[in-house]
């Protein structure tokens, strides 16, 4: 009898595996030799272009979901999402071939911004009927369709917009490198243009356990060369040797609330572990658990910056010899040189070596972003927020993350990697993140 049960379990498992294999093979067969005609119709005047390889995304997701992970919980969530979407009347995707690349673009007409999507079609008449039914502006010809997703609500421009769409599906456009590349793992390509010049070129690819973003830009930031002090870290680390002027302006407006006058920030290095929410008679305080080195463009005196006059503006804060206390958390501070200061949870910083060509570095464990220590009603409320819950689950399945921006000559190079833990796959985890947030809303 026990042997009969083992045989039954074996055949059930074998049957499930064969079903999954057949589904995957059917899915990949549907994805073979699909048209990419829409890639030839990207407007030459487009300022932003994003090409999404939906065929490769579907193929890889099917393989990871049905063959590798066999995640029953995720399949149930996907089923619930499909049932929920079925209840919605009409679909803007009628007549669209989703098993081929989709192109998003932004352009201008009469100095007004417009945005749209260029698609390969399976049924032009159905697509055009759907446009009319949903009162959308678009056009279709020879298996290529375009629909505007954002445009000025100006009746005078409507005729121009319709003419623009008709010309787009009729005439050949910008020749992009995406269709010529042989990278089977590439899922998305993003471009920024200034007239005919390429300002930014980014691509996203995914293999069995890693999502990779890489690219370059031809517009290096205008910054002065200086020696940046960087913290050593085994937690989530962020450092930047370039601070945009707009960010400095925002920081200045923020600190003016405390009647502080400080120079512009030249660079920073931060180690972040999470935050703690503390409730007291003075109210609720959000206390970050961090260490930071901040370098300024001009000399600064820490003792003048950290003063009783400033501390008294923070409820429940008191000043001490080498730092200040807010609630139950103590923060240390230290002058490192005439233009640099340290503030953080540790008494003194531990410095690391700095690469001379690095502009920005983010590295470490992303669980720090969702590490919010809060008890009682506040903690329970935070755990109920859909975005927080899905983000926490997503970061818990990530092994490590790194984003590096470096300068070489007149070019800026970007490289980013998101590596998942063993047994978790990039596209299925992204699907889980989207579905958990959608179903909890």
Pair (263, 201) in one structural domain: no
Q: CA 279 to CA 102: how far, in whole Å?
A: 49
Domain assignment present for residue 376? The answer is: no
Report pLDDT for 11. Answer: 38
Q: Which of 364, 385, 417 is the last residue of a domain?
A: 364
10 within some domain: no
Q: pTM here?
A: 0.76
168 and 251 assigned to the same domain: no
Same structural domain, 346 and 229: yes
**Do residues 275 and 198 share a domain?**
no
Kindly state whether residues 188 and 233 are assigned to the same domain.
no
Cα–Cα dist 343/356, whole Å: 24
* Residue 435 is assigned to a structural domain of this protein: no
Question: Are 159 and 238 in the same domain?
Answer: no
Give the pLDDT score at 33. Answer: 46
Which of 338, 364, 390 terminates a domain? The answer is: 364
Domain end position, chosen among 173, 206, 239: 206
Residues 231 and 349 in one domain: yes
In a domain, 371, yes or no: no
Q: Which residues of the chain have pLDDT under 70?
A: 1-35, 64-93, 155, 177-183, 219-227, 258, 282, 307-313, 354-356, 436-441
Say whether both 320 and 260 belong to one domain: yes
The answer as to whether 23 is a domain residue is: no
Question: Do 129 and 72 belong to one domain?
Answer: yes
- Residues 46, 181 within the same domain: yes
Angle at 230 between CA 217 and CA 346, to 5 degrees: 140
Q: Which domain holds residue 249?
A: 221-364
The per-residue pLDDT for 143 is 92
Q: What is the pLDDT of residues 272-313, one digit of tens each?
A: 999 998 877 767 888 999 999 999 999 988 777 776 566 666
**90 and 195 fall within a common domain:** yes
Residue 262 pLDDT = 82
- The answer as to whether 4 is a domain residue is no
**Domain-located, residue 432:** no
Q: What is the pLDDT of residues 227-286, one digit of tens each?
A: 678 888 888 999 998 888 888 888 888 877 767 778 889 999 999 999 998 877 767 888
Whether residue 341 sits in one domain with residue 246: yes
Tally of structural domains, the chain: 2
Whether 201 is in a domain gets the answer: yes
pLDDT of residue 159: 87
């Amino acid at each position: 009898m026990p042997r009969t049960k083992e045989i039954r379990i074996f055949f059930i498992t074998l049957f499930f595996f064969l079903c999954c294999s057949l589904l995957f093979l059917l899915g990949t067969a549907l994805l073979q030799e699909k048209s990419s005609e829409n890639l030839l119709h990207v407007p030459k005047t487009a300022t932003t272009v994003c090409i999404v390889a939906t065929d490769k995304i579907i193929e890889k997701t099917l393989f990871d979901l049905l063959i590798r992970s066999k995640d029953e919980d995720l399949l149930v969530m996907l089923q619930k999402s499909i049932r929920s979407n079925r209840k919605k009347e009409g679909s803007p995707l009628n007549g669209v071939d989703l098993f081929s690349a989709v192109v998003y673009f932004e352009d201008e007409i009469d100095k007004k911004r417009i945005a749209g999507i260029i698609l390969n079609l399976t049924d032009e008449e159905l697509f055009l009927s759907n446009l009319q039914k949903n009162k959308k502006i678009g056009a279709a010809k020879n298996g290529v369709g375009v629909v505007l997703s954002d445009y000025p609500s100006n009746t005078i421009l409507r005729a121009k917009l319709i003419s623009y769409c008709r010309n787009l599906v009729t005439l050949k456009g910008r020749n992009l490198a995406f269709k010529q590349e042989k990278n089977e793992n590439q899922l998305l390509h993003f471009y920024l243009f200034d007239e005919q010049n390429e300002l930014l070129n980014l691509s996203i690819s995914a293999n069995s356990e890693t999502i990779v973003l890489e690219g370059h830009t031809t517009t290096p930031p205008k910054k002065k060369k200086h020696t940046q002090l960087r913290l050593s870290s085994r937690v989530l680390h962020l450092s930047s040797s370039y601070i945009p002027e707009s960010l400095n302006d925002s920081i200045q407006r923020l600190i003016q609330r405390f009647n502080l006058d400080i120079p512009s920030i030249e660079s920073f290095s931060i180690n972040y572990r999470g935050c703690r929410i503390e409730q007291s008679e003075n109210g609720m305080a959000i206390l970050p658990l961090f260490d930071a080195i901040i370098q300024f463009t001009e000399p600064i005196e820490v003792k003048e910056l950290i003063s009783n006059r400033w501390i008294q503006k923070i409820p429940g804060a008191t000043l001490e010899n080498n730092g200040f206390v807010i609630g139950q958390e103590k923060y240390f501070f230290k002058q490192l040189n005439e233009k640099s200061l340290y503030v953080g949870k540790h008494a003194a910083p531990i410095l690391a070596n700095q690469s001379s060509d690095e502009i920005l570095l983010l590295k470490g464990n992303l669980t720090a972003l969702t590490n919010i220590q809060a008890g009682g009603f506040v903690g329970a409320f935070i755990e109920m927020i859909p975005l927080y819950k899905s983000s926490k689950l997503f970061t818990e399945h990530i092994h490590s993350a790194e984003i590096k921006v470096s300068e070489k000559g007149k070019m800026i190079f970007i490289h980013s990697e998101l590596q998942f833990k063993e047994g978790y796959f990039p596209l299925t985890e992204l699907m889980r993140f989207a579905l958990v947030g959608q179903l909890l809303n």
